Chains A and B, each alone.
Chain A
Amino acid sequence: MAEMEAKADSGKKGPGVKKSKKLSTRVDLTPMCDLGFLLITFFIFTTTLAEPTAMNLLMPKDTKDPNQENKIKESGSLTLMLGKSNVIYYYFGSDPTKMQTTTYKDVRKVILDKKKSTPADDLFIIIKPDKDATYANAVDVLDEMTINDIPRYAMVDVTPDEYKLIQQTEQSAGIK
């Protein structure tokens, strides 16, 4: 802009002398170029971020025959029950009344402690999402199995007794 004004001034100098100045047809393209690249950057960032990934899930066959069921050592089992409001209840062995509470942030420590204290062949984690758990909860815990390299785990439904226990705990703790 400053340039153009300066030129206009110089054209008026010297009365009587009329200089017809040709205005340049060249336009400064810098802002347009900036805009172009800005848009490119924007489109590249917004398109690649939305790509989904797939996670493998292998479920066991349902079997009614007790002889075909997988046997788990009581000393090596850890049961994680997923409750509402992102709370996990867990117990070792087969006694649900001894359950403790944890969160999705701290569950890794529980899993790792168990993994360290049990022989690798005995370790078995049972995941039991209850009726109030969300799909994200289930995926999170399955993901935790991949992260911590747990070779044997299974996802099953909670038993009515366990669900009752969870509900009692939730009521006394005021979890809605």
Chain B
Amino acid sequence: MARAKIKRASTRVDMTAMCDVAFLLLTFFILTGQFKPAEAVQVTPPGSVSNKHPIQKHSFEVTIDKDNRVFLSLTDDIKGEVWDELVQEKGLKVTPQDKEDFKHADFVGVPFSQLLQFIKIPSSQLKNVKMDGIPIDSSNNELQAWVTAAANATQGERVNWFIKGDGQAKYPTFGKVLDAFKKNDIYKYNLITTQEGIPPGTALYDANLKEQHKGIK
């Protein structure tokens, strides 16, 4: 009689399936993840304890870089209207093509005098272009004109006013940006920051703890 053979179970597991899943996930995350747009202006915002995330709708974002230059970027949903309003207010001579160019431009970083040439530069080449930023001196505050245009163009609609400053930017520049808003009777802004932990033992920390306990009960 033949002896029953005890088959030794192999400890090896077929990795094919797991490997498939891993790479499927990898592909998914790479494709869905948004690449950080290659910014021509590098800005490192300071930290704050705020944990609110900015709303990327109807947003008017002023960026201050570490050399105190001021840039402006608008979301696509208000770009067209702001451009029309600005052209009308400033009496600029533009073509419909210019408006298209403006819609494709990521941001504005030059005075009005160079604006039409600036928006024709493809974003991949912006790194090599010398930009002076938008003038914000009290004698020639062009940012104020932009704010006026945006406020008038979106009447009735809520615009989110964002200020994104580099931590190393000097305060007077920030003050001048605020002045440009204040002259247009806009007093509420959102400062873009990176999130920081709340220091334990402080009033805000205790308030948050209470909030959490309420939620549990």
Q: Which residues of A contact B (CB under 8 A)?
A: 28-30, 32-33, 36-37, 39-40, 43-44, 47, 50-62, 82, 108, 129-140, 142-143, 146-149, 157
Selected contact of A147 from candidates B23, B164, B174, B204, CB within 8 Å: B204
Question: In the complex, are the beta carbons of A54 and B167 less than 8 A apart?
Answer: no
Docked pose: A138 CA to B167 CA in angstroms: 9
Selected contact of B46 from candidates A37, A54, A59, A140, CB within 8 Å: A140
Q: Which residues of B contact A (CB under 8 A)?
A: 14-16, 18-19, 22-23, 25-26, 29-30, 33, 36, 45-54, 64, 162-175, 178, 181-182, 185, 187-196, 198-199, 202-205, 207
Residues of A within 8 A of B202 (CB): 108, 147-148
Residues of A within 8 A of B48 (CB): 53, 55, 139, 142-143, 146
Question: In the complex, are the beta carbons of B191 and A130 less than 8 A apart?
Answer: no
Docked pose: A111 CA to B204 CA in angstroms: 14
Residues of A within 8 A of B50 (CB): 53-56, 143, 146
Q: Which chain B residue shows the least CB distance to A145? A: B204
Docked pose: A153 CA to B85 CA in angstroms: 36
Docked pose: A133 CA to B164 CA in angstroms: 17
Known: A33-B15, A40-B29. A54 touches B53 (CB 8 A): yes
Question: In the complex, are the beta carbons of B174 and A58 less than 8 A apart?
Answer: no
Q: Which chain B residue shows the least CB distance to A28? A: B15
Q: Which chain B residue shows the least CB distance to A35? A: B22
Q: How far is the CB of A85 from chain B (nearest CB, A)?
A: 13
Residues of B within 8 A of A30 (CB): 15
Question: In the complex, are the beta carbons of B190 and A54 less than 8 A apart?
Answer: yes
Q: Which chain A residue shows the least CB distance to B15? A: A29
Residues of A within 8 A of B178 (CB): 59
Residues of A within 8 A of B49 (CB): 143, 146-147
Known: A54-B53, A55-B190, A58-B187. A148 touches B203 (CB 8 A): yes
Residues of B within 8 A of A134 (CB): 167-171
- 9 nearest interchain CB pairs? A36-B22, A136-B167, A29-B15, A149-B203, A136-B46, A54-B54, A54-B190, A55-B50, A135-B165
Q: How far is the CB of B166 from chain A (nearest CB, A)?
A: 7
Residues of B within 8 A of A36 (CB): 19, 22-23, 25-26
Question: In the complex, are the beta carbons of B187 and A59 less than 8 A apart?
Answer: yes
Question: In the complex, are the beta carbons of A54 and B22 less than 8 A apart?
Answer: no
Question: In the complex, are the beta carbons of A135 and B22 less than 8 A apart?
Answer: no
Candidate in A32, A39, A58, A135 with the most chain B CB atoms within 10 angstroms: A135
Docked pose: A28 CA to B19 CA in angstroms: 11
Question: In the complex, are the beta carbons of B187 and A60 less than 8 A apart?
Answer: yes
Known: A54-B191, A57-B188, A59-B182. A131 touches B15 (CB 8 A): no
Question: In the complex, are the beta carbons of B29 and A58 less than 8 A apart?
Answer: no
Question: In the complex, are the beta carbons of B203 and A43 less than 8 A apart?
Answer: no
Q: How far is the CB of B38 from chain A (nearest CB, A)?
A: 14
Selected contact of B29 from candidates A44, A55, A143, CB within 8 Å: A44
Q: How far is the CB of A5 from chain B (nearest CB, A)?
A: 18
Q: How far is the CB of B76 from chain A (nearest CB, A)?
A: 19
Docked pose: A53 CA to B193 CA in angstroms: 5
Question: In the complex, are the beta carbons of A29 and B54 less than 8 A apart?
Answer: no
Selected contact of A43 from candidates B30, B192, B194, CB within 8 Å: B30
Known: A40-B22, A133-B171. A55 touches B191 (CB 8 A): yes
Question: In the complex, are the beta carbons of B26 and A54 less than 8 A apart?
Answer: no
Docked pose: A148 CA to B45 CA in angstroms: 22
Question: In the complex, are the beta carbons of B203 and A53 less than 8 A apart?
Answer: no
Docked pose: A133 CA to B171 CA in angstroms: 6
